[in-house]
Structure 1
Amino acid sequence: MDKEVLIQMANQITDFWSPYPKTEATESIARHIHTFWDPRMRDQMKTIIDDGGEGLSPLFIETMKDYFNGPKSPAKPVPSAPQAKPKAGTPAS
């Protein structure tokens, strides 16, 4: 896809979401790119951003740098050891 068209599309998406609170805007921009852009478009955008992101909205650059770093999963709690259950008919101690 033409680089200028890709930049224009990215800025239009960002312009739509920019009035929203920043967290909502960045999540929505990233979700849109992930859902609707072909992987080749995302790869091309990564190259554009890695080359400086000229012409892109700062909010889009920030969002996509975070997106390209991968998901942020909360730390999983360590499961505790299972407690032994008393056998049927045996009083619990």
Structure 2
Amino acid sequence: MQSSDLVRMANQIAAYFETYPKQEALDGIAMHIHSFWEPRMRNALKAHIDTGGEGLSPLFLESMEAYFKGPKSPVKQAAVQNQKATAPKGAAPSVASGGGDAG
């Protein structure tokens, strides 16, 4: 894909989000690129930005600066700690012949 096509599409996205509050616009642009542009388009966009980003709107460039940096902090996974050795009464699934809890 030509970089001129990427620039045109990127600027259309930025123009759409211009009326939004600043942070919402930055997030919206990044989310759109992540959700709807395939990896080869994102890679070509990154290459264009790395060579100066000629023609791209300042709002779009600001959004992509944060997007290509990645998350601000690593994602922490929550660990579930089982405080009880046995399940509470009534927690076992029903095995009624009618299926479910029908009884």
Confirm whether residue 10 of structure 1 aligns to residue 28 of structure 2. no
Tell me the TM-score normalised to structure 2 length.
0.70
Normalised TM-score (structure 1): 0.77
Which residue does 2:62 correspond to in 1?
Answer: 62
Provide the alpha-carbon RMSD of the alignment. Answer: 1.9
Q: Looking at both structures, which has the greater relative contact order when contacts are Cα pairs under 8 Å and sequence separation is at least 6?
A: 1
Identity in percent: 57
When the two structures are aligned, how many residues end up with a matched partner? 80
Runs (4+) of structure 1 moved beyond 3 Å?
Answer: 73-76
Q: Which amino acid aligns with 1:9?
A: M
Where structure 2 has 5 or more consecutive residues not aligned to the other structure, the ranges are 85-103
CA distance in 1, matches of 2:35, 2:54: 24
Letter in 1 for 2:40: R
Larger Rg: 2
Unaligned 5+ runs, structure 1: 86-93
